[in-house]
Amino acid sequence: MPRNPTPAQSEASRRNGRRSKGATTSEGRARLAAVATKHNLTGPFRLLPGEDRLAFERLRRAWHARLKPVDRAEREATDALVAQIWRRHRLDWLEVQLLEAILHDRPRDGLPSLETLLRYRARLDRERQRIEAELWALRMNREAAAADRRPIRLDPSPVSPADPSPAASGEASEEEEERGVVLPFRPRLH
């Protein structure tokens, strides 16, 4: 469309716009999304053309081996963490490209501004913290549920009220509290 269109061109553009419904098939929408993707630092994660799929899979397997997720929720959170790490590597690469272009007075075609990269970095860092907190919470809930499933002894040994040990009182010691150890609530069976 020219900068100053004629009234006929404007009307034709409006007519065409009313008829257009965009991509209607899932393949067409996927193709349009791929064309619109520049750096994939936001939106649904996918590997970009030219990225090493094997390197991504190695990173994914390494994090799964390190975190050892046991259920679907933990696996999905681990995969989200891996995607964030991969995006952070992308961001670092983009930052190097931008700084080299600035330093060597080269064109910055297709590169985001430094301010935009810093905004993306803050967003990715917040997202990683959220995912790590979610993983930690899932793990703590799993461990707490496992602790509650310990078999209950039918003939519990009596605990004397004079026994000052933290285990007997059901309270954590100061050292355990500093380490974040939380003893599950256990009702006394009489």
pLDDT tens-digit readout, 26-68? 877 766 665 555 677 778 888 888 889 999 999 999 999 999 9
Q: What is the pLDDT of residues 134-160, one digit of tens each?
A: 999 888 888 877 777 654 444 445 544
User: Considering the entire predicted model, what is its pTM?
Assistant: 0.60
- CA-CA distance, 40 to 45, in Å (whole number)? 7
Q: Amino acid letter at 89?
A: H
C-alpha distance from residue 145 to each of 9, 138, 142 (Å):
67, 11, 5
- Whose tokens are 């990269």? That residue is 117
The single-letter DSSP state of residue 45 is: -
Give the SS3 label for residue 57. helix
